[in-house]
Homo-oligomer: A and B are copies of this chain.
Amino acid sequence: MKLYNYFRSSASFRVRIAFELKGLPYEYLPVHLVKGEHRQEAYTAVSASQLVPTLETDAGELLSQSMAIIEYLDETHPEPALLPRDALGRARVRALAQLIACEIHPLNNLRVLKYLTRELKVDEATKNTWYRHWVRDGLEKLEQELARLPAGTYCYGDTPTLADCCLVPQIFNGKRFEVDFGGLTRTMAAFDACMRHPAFQKAQPSNCPDNEA
């Protein structure tokens, strides 16, 4: 399989984690978002929506949207499972993942930050306050949700799930923008557990071939 992605893209990072958790090899195809490569013809032929990541299956099918890709990997390569076996557990894990992917991340991606600067003419400090506000607000919601679940090593239970694939990139992004993580006990305990797991280490931006840091 091939993964079109970008080292710093949170959505890309989620899928890389899933690949590493499953121990599946993949070809890493970088798409440089800051240089605008996602809008160039070579990539629009791959991704109609000009978003990363895109998974290209061995049969040549092109799949978009990180959570959908991870569920596809989980269905086609079931072990180790990234979703619980029971419908209730799956609903809980999907809800945690979507709380990050639908409530936090969309407000802070590159094209939104550009709109704030270019169209709304906000200054750097205001942009950073916006960023931190939505990450903090969303992570507080996540913390409240986690606090009502049984204790576990990771977001849900004692094995990594789709929720952890979404959590870790969000925390990485938050760290870049110096978000305050104080009081997010369950959230940061799950993050710390993930970062002790080699799959999360291997998938992180600093280990990507297109990393520029």
Contacts and interface: CB of A to CB of B under 8 A. Distances in A.
A15 to B, nearest CB: 12
A40 interface: no
Interface string A35-65: 0000000000000111100000100010111
A91 B57 CA distance: 12
* Interface range for A: 35 or more
Contacts of A65: 94-95, 98-99, 102
Contacts of A95: 63-65, 68-69
A141 B49 contact: yes
A20 interface: no
Contacts of A87: 72, 75-76
A115 interface: yes
Contacts of A48: 141, 144-145, 147-148
A107 interface: yes
A152 to B, nearest CB: 16
Interface string A128-144: 01100100000001101
A64 B115 CA distance: 30
A16 interface: no
A105 interface: yes
A20 B204 CA distance: 43
A122 interface: yes
Contacts of A129: 119
A67 B61 CA distance: 24
Contact of A64 (B68, B88, B99, B112): B99
A87 to B, nearest CB: 4
Nearest to A57: B88
Given A51-B103, A68-B91, 17 more contacts: A49-B141, A49-B145, A63-B91, A67-B94, A67-B98, A67-B102, A68-B94, A69-B95, A71-B91, A71-B94, A72-B88, A75-B87, A98-B101, A102-B106, A106-B106, A119-B129, A120-B120
